[in-house]
Structure 1
Amino acid sequence: MYATSTQKRFWTFTAEELEAKRDALNQAYIERHRPFLDSDDQISMFLNSDEEKLFCRIVADTGIKFGKEFKPELPPAVRWTALMYYKRFYLKTTPLEYTPKPVMMTCHFLAAKVDEFIIRTEQFVRNLKNGEPDKNAELILKTEPKLMEYLDFQLTVHSPFRAFEGHLIEMKTRLPLIDFDLEQVRKPAMEFFDMALAGDAMLMYTPTHIALAGLKYGLDKLSKSQDLLNDFLYKFLDLDPWNSREEEKQQVMKLLKKIESVVTVVLEQSASVIPQTVTVLQNKVKSLSAFLKTKLEPKMKAIPEAPTDNGVMSDDSDE
């Protein structure tokens, strides 16, 4: 049950809380390296928290494509779980500390196991277009324990798909006079859920709210009247639209506002990243990677208690 889940208790945040977490992780990473800098001017070589978020987003887009093209086809819930793991992981650490691509691969591998989509390691790595299969398998198996640790071993993820199916059935039952096939809503709704993989909606809203947002998006794409969704929400809340008290009407309006906020967040955060922006960030990541390897790592290795970076950074732009 979502109401008593670790997802609700430990992994649901406001936009402000997410920003604060990412800012704190970014600053902590920079502060660990500050003693080894020649001057504070070199801090500008590090990514800020917004750039780290974009870095993760670029790899998320690659991961979403990987999940779509995976053979055999991954169920939508597995892909949702994988992206949820990925986003949760980077609320505990930064992409400067653990390069995102191996983490993304491992998130899909772990999600398949947790959601009981049985696939052998050898079969899984055949879907990876770069690297040698044996080395990819070794890297995934090496990364998996750290991933689970950073997830606090809380691996159950509640996706919007079951709720969406329930809403669709309920809508067919409670609004029997609808003059079109409600199954037409499914395709645009699934497209909406795919778009939601790119951003923070899964960290901010309940599965039910995301499912209702998918329903609204689907109805909007079919150019159906807003009144249809409003009527359903009254039924959903067991209210009579004709004999409701003012506070009950406000309850429906509050739910509708929440659904609209989900749609807004998903559409805004799934917008394509400008190619020039990607190129600029990739160049900065490469420069930082070279700086860490040639300038900072020798200094850090000379001091036993100094922090060390856990992964070799890359631009992660390829598949």
Structure 2
Amino acid sequence: MYHSSTQRKFWTFKSDKELTKGREAANDRFRNERQNKTSFNEEYFLTVEEERVLLRWYDDKLIKEFCHRFKPKVPVNCIATSCHYVKRLFLRYSVMEYNPKLMILASIWLACKTEEFNISMDQFVWNIHHLLPDEKLAHGEDYARKYGDAILAVELILIKELNFHLTIHNPFRAFEGLLIDMKTRYESAALKKPEILREPTVDYLYSAIFTDAILLYTPSQLALAALLYAGAKLNIILDSYVTEHLLKDQPRQVLEDTIKNVKKIRSIVRKNMKCPLENMVKSIEMKLEKCCNKTSNPLTEEYARLKSLEVEERERIATQKWREEAERQKQLQKDLLDY
């Protein structure tokens, strides 16, 4: 249940100020760590706003388009879960720390497993090859397989950075509950078939899952906001359902808070409708390429060199331990002979 979930306890925030504070802290932490190693101008790094613009672009051009054209079709619950993972990760870390394209694809892969949408990595790689041809320029002919290996390399890192909180309560199930409730308890001359609300409600929820609303409001609040939006779009007034059925016998303050939350959700979704300009995003991507942490990206040579050094260090330590043990055994045998 949502009210006893890690989603409510750790990943539902009281205001957008908390989200802004978290993102600013992540951005500052990365800047400070790099500044301690080498001196850079402030303009060298991405700003919090540039990070937001980049992720907004990837919402449309990577998550939406990739999942929409994916074969077999990715269920909407998988898409929503991957959105949660992406927003959680980049609430705690800057896009300069972890490559956003790679971590978004890893989030989609992980969400498919979490939501039990069974696909193999070979299928995932096939879709990368056919749906992301532009990556060929950056990573060569075998770019899809490289991405597959990279996703597997960062999967456990992603799970760890999410604090192993993988279960997501999405608003689509909450909407199904509201729809069943309307069919069984609500009678209205203006609404003979509640099923007509399904398509516009689901479309609205699909827009909402790409916004910060999923970090600020409960699944039921999101579902209700979407349902009321669908009613307004179809010129069906659902106020009586809310006041006389859904929130019947509740204190007036509960009704006022519900109305306030619905308005805030609509505002958030409306502000998120506009996609950034492509030339602006390309400029940010070029800037990111210079300032990002390449040692955390399995697609880079820097990562390969770091892993090679780590392997050499482990082998050196293992060899040293073996020699020390051999010396100890040799000394033990000598002591026994002397005795």
Q: Which residue of 1 aligns with 2:200?
A: 188
Q: Which residue of 1 aligns with 2:226?
A: 214
Q: Which residue of 1 aligns with 2:166?
A: 155
Residue 251 (str. 1) matches residue 251 (str. 2) = no
Letter of the 1:65 counterpart: E
CA contact (8 A) 1:25 1:94 kept: yes
Could you tell me which runs of 5 or more consecutive residues in structure 1 were left unpaired when the two chains were aligned: 240-246, 293-307, 315-319
- SS of the counterpart of 1:138? helix
Residue 235 (str. 1) matches residue 235 (str. 2) = no
Rg larger for: 2
C-alpha RMSD over aligned residues:
2.2
Q: Which residue of 2 aligns with 1:50?
A: 49
How has the CA–CA distance of structure 1 residues 313 and 280 changed in structure 2, closer, same or farther, with 3 Å as cutoff? farther
More helix by share: 2
CA contact (8 A) 1:196 1:270 kept: no
Letter of the 1:140 counterpart: I
How has the CA–CA distance of structure 1 residues 97 and 169 changed in structure 2, closer, same or farther, with 3 Å as cutoff? same
Aligned counterparts, 1:1-319, within 5 A = 1-13=1-13, 14-38=15-39, 42-61=41-60, 62-128=62-128, 129-130=131-132, 132=142, 133-180=144-191, 181-225=193-237, 228-239=238-249, 248-286=251-289, 288=291, 309-311=295-297
Q: Tell me which moved more, 46-55 or 175-184.
A: 175-184
Structure 1, residues 163-183: CA drift from partner, whole Å, max 9, x if none? 101101112222223434322
Aligned partners of 2:183, 2:64: CA distance in 1, in Å? 31
Q: Tell me which moved more, 179-188 or 25-34.
A: 179-188
Letter of the 1:126 counterpart: W
- SS of the counterpart of 1:127? helix
User: Residue 81 of structure 1: CA displacement?
Assistant: 0.5
User: Residue 231 of structure 1: CA displacement?
Assistant: 3.3
CA contact (8 A) 1:164 1:211 kept: yes
Aligned residues: 286
Structure 1, residues 56-110: CA drift from partner, whole Å, max 9, x if none? 2222222122122221112111111111111111122111011111111111111
CA contact (8 A) 1:185 1:215 kept: yes
- SS of the counterpart of 1:212? helix
Structure 1, residues 28-73: CA drift from partner, whole Å, max 9, x if none? 11111113444x6x12121111111222222222212212222111
Aligned partners of 2:282, 2:262: CA distance in 1, in Å? 35
Aligned partners of 1:216, 1:104: CA distance in 2, in Å? 31
Letter of the 1:66 counterpart: F
TM-score, normalisation: structure 2: 0.78
Letter of the 2:80 counterpart: W
Letter of the 1:179 counterpart: A
TM-score, normalisation: structure 1: 0.83
CA contact (8 A) 2:63 2:79 kept: no
- SS of the counterpart of 1:155? coil
User: Residue 286 of structure 1: CA displacement?
Assistant: 4.3
User: Residue 206 of structure 1: CA displacement?
Assistant: 0.3
Aligned partners of 1:312, 1:288: CA distance in 2, in Å? 16
Q: Which residue of 2 aligns with 1:300?
A: none
Aligned partners of 1:268, 1:54: CA distance in 2, in Å? 13
Could you tell me which runs of 5 or more consecutive residues in structure 2 were left unpaired when the two chains were aligned: 137-141, 301-339
